[in-house]
Amino acid sequence: MRADRTQRVARGVSVASIATFTALLSHVVAGGVVPGWAGIFTPWVLAVAVSSLLAGRNLSRVRLALSVGASQLFFHALFVMGAPSAGVTSMTMHQHMHGAMTTIPAATDPTVAALCADPWMWIGHGIAAAVTIVALYHGERAVRVLLELARDLRAWARAAGGG
């Protein structure tokens, strides 16, 4: 694997992991149920794929925003996989919707129902995505600066040490 591809995959894994964690955390803080492992792992794998494809040679806010947005959407749409309940009922869908006034019938597809949640839930996802984008963008820039500083310090130490 070329260094360029390795860097893209590393960026994709980082973006997907942090975005999925942020989505999960904000979901639980907002009162949603903790999804099963399949409901966390499956969206994460899809987010890694999309984020790795969108990662470029240089850091881009647009590609980063698309990656984080996709990660949030995957998590929200697929968190019902492996949910700890024995089945999706109108009550669990109502709980997921964080207090929405409508109740989804038990026969409704849980993924479709998850996408049709109340506006406050989507506002929460938007806030979580914005925080994630800012943190990742500035975090990656900080890591790059620190790596450059470490290279400079190593070169200085070698020059000062005579070898």
Reported as a single tens digit per residue, the pLDDT across 120-146 is 777 877 888 898 899 998 998 898 899
Q: Which residues make Cβ contacts (< 8 Å) with residue 94, sequence separation at least 6?
A: 100, 103, 104
Q: Where are the domains of the chain?
A: 3-161
For 28-56, how does the pLDDT look when each residue is reduced to its tens digit (9 = 90+)?
Answer: 887 778 888 888 999 999 999 999 999 88
Checking 53-56 for CB contacts under 8 A at 24+ apart, the result is 53/12, 54/12, 55/7, 55/8, 55/9, 55/11, 55/12, 55/15, 56/8
For 95-113, how does the pLDDT look when each residue is reduced to its tens digit (9 = 90+)?
Answer: 444 444 344 444 455 555 5
Global confidence as pTM: 0.68
Exposure string for 104-122, b = 16+ CB within 10 A, e = fewer? beeeeebeebbeebeeebe
| pLDDT, position 4 | 83
pLDDT > 70? residue 93:
no
| pLDDT, position 109 | 56
Q: What are the E-state strand segments in 15-148?
A: none
